[in-house]
Amino acid sequence: MAAATERAWCCTVCGHVYRGDAPPECCPSCGAAPTEFEPYDEAQESAAAAPAIEWQDVGAAEELARQPVQEIEVGHTTIALVCRDGQFSAISGKCNHVGGPLGHGHLEGEHVVCPWHSWRFDGATGEGKTGCACEGDKVPTYAVKVENGRVLVSAAEATPRVHKPRTPHPLTKIALRGQPGGPAVTDPLRVVGISTTNMDVSNPRYSTSDRLLNEALGRARDCGAETRLVRLAELQFRACEGYYSKSSRACIWPCSITQMDPADQMQVVYDAFVRWGDIVIVATPIRWGQASSLYYKMVERMNCIQNQETIANRHLMRTKVVGLIITGGQDNIQAVAGQMLTFFGELGCQFPQYPFIAHSRGWSAEDMENNVRYVEESKDLHEAAAGLVDRCLDTCRALLGVSIGAGHVPRGGRKAHELDVHAQI
């Protein structure tokens, strides 16, 4: 009896090919949901690449030689045409990582550097650079020749694409409460406190928002919850480097920086928000009418979570409950709260009744020592912090077992829904 043929599946987001009886829980390359996979017929792909070479004229050699790397179309195939030391070669225009346009990259020695995430492939052999994340991978190569001053390229693959098997990043696997691998529904709830106050951690100072955050976490522990405190000031993490500005599909989950830089500690925040916590209390001071600079540094890096909603219909935080603590010597509480509620709302988070507590002494008060004393001694504010946690816990318990947005969420009216974008182009 013949052995069963292993099935193959292709991620429609990044092009990664997965082999197994069913699509994976998430794409090992870009984190896309299993619904983004389609059956992949490898035999058909190989057959399509088999015909004899048919050459296509892509332009004058003299003109094409002026650009070391450029994208060309040969039939329906996108190719990166390389010219190094006057010699032409051609590799696939699609990077193995998440499909970045290699033809828009640049030449670094003999390697073409992908403009999205800097994967490097030999411009002649298609092999991934040794020591790079793409080592062991290969992109297809194509035959090239020059005749009568014209560059001719074949659309047939001379060598195939090779994806080196990789262990998925730990953050790609998310186990929800009550599901296999996650905490039981009856296990203690988990409350994360996020301090966005910036300070010299070797010479700490009093922070009113941190004081109320500690009060909230203490209340959570008294109620039987597990707690975790994340101080952004103690973490070393890079600012968002704008991969989304290159292409929406260049912003992946987990974040590109997290995957490329093991020393980047934003992973601590991602783990707390997406994997560990049921409830997240975010505390921020007011700085010139805005949340803290560390808050904005954090949420810019969290765009990769929101982008999963946009490009992969994957909801990483739809069961999370978020509460906010906002304090400062200056006013503008409503605007700060509005921005924060909008951001976490766009991540699919849930909010308790009265989702934030706040305190400010207003525009005229620069006597910060009095503000510190007021917050420290205010029974009302301490009770308010405890009450915020109580409401978050009640909301979280009420939502246990409730399915929210489990199916496809209609895109109309939401961020990047593209209702009439194409009509405007």
- Write down the pLDDT at residue 18: 82
pLDDT at 45 over 60: no
Nearest 5°: phi and psi at 124? -110, -40
pLDDT average, residue stretch 221-241: 97
Least confident segment among 25-29, 103-107, 110-114, 350-354: 25-29
What is the Cα–Cα distance from 82 to 372, expressed in whole angstroms?
Answer: 63
Q: Which region among 14-28, 166-180, 204-218, 243-257 has the lowest average model confidence (pLDDT)? A: 14-28
The per-residue DSSP string of 219-255 comes to HHHHTT-EEEEEEGGG---PPP--HHHH-GGGS-SS-
Give residue 34's pLDDT.
80
Query: Which of these ranges, 145-149, 150-154, 413-417, has the smallest mean pLDDT?
Result: 413-417
Quote the crossing angle between the two packed helices 293-301 and 303-312, to the nearest 10°. Answer: 30
3-state SS string over 57-90? EEEEHHHHCCCCEEEEEECCEEEEEEEECCEEEE
Closest CA to 99 of 26, 24, 172, 32: 32
**More confident position, 215 or 46:** 215
Of residues 164 and 122, more confidence is placed in: 122
Q: Delineate the domains of the chain, giving CATH numbers in brackets.
A: 8-48 (2.20.28.10), 55-159 (2.102.10.10), 170-401 (3.40.50.360)
Phi, psi of 416 (to 5 degrees): 60, 35
Question: Among positive and negative, which fits the CA dihedral 126, 164, 175, 14?
Answer: positive
User: How large a percentage of the chain has pLDDT more than 90?
Assistant: 63
Distant-in-sequence, close-in-space partners of 238: CB < 8 Å, separation ≥ 6: 257, 261, 264, 266
In this structure, what token pair is assigned to residue 316? 């990483």
- Backbone torsions φ then ψ of 343, nearest 5 degrees: -60, -55
Higher pLDDT: 399 or 5? It is: 399
CA distances from 16 to 28, 267, 274 (A): 8, 23, 24
* HEC letters along 152-200: EEEEEEEECCECCCCCCCHHHCCCCCCCCCCCCCCCCCEEEEEECCCCC
End-to-end Cα spacing for the chain: 56
Q: How buried is residue 203: exposed, middle or buried, by Cβ count under 10 Å (0-12/13-18/19+)?
A: exposed
- In the chain, count of helices (H) and strands (E)? 12, 17
Report the percentage of the chain scoring pLDDT > 70.
90
Buried b (16+ CB within 10 A) or exposed e, 368-396: eeebbeebeeeeebbebbbbbbebbbebb
Distance CA 70, CA 66 (A): 10
Quote the pTM value.
Answer: 0.84
In the prediction, which pLDDT does 406 show? 63
Quote the CA–CA distance of 53 and 33 in Å, as a whole number.
Answer: 38
What are the pLDDT digits (tens) for 85-134? 999 999 999 999 989 999 999 999 999 999 999 999 999 999 999 999 89
**pLDDT, the chain, mean:** 89
State residue 411's pLDDT score: 67
Contact 292, 198 (CB under 8 A): yes
- Check pLDDT > 80 for residue 27: no
Quote the pLDDT of residue 425.
58
Confidence band (pLDDT; 50, 70, 90) for 319? confident
- 17-19 and 120-122: which strand pairing? unpaired
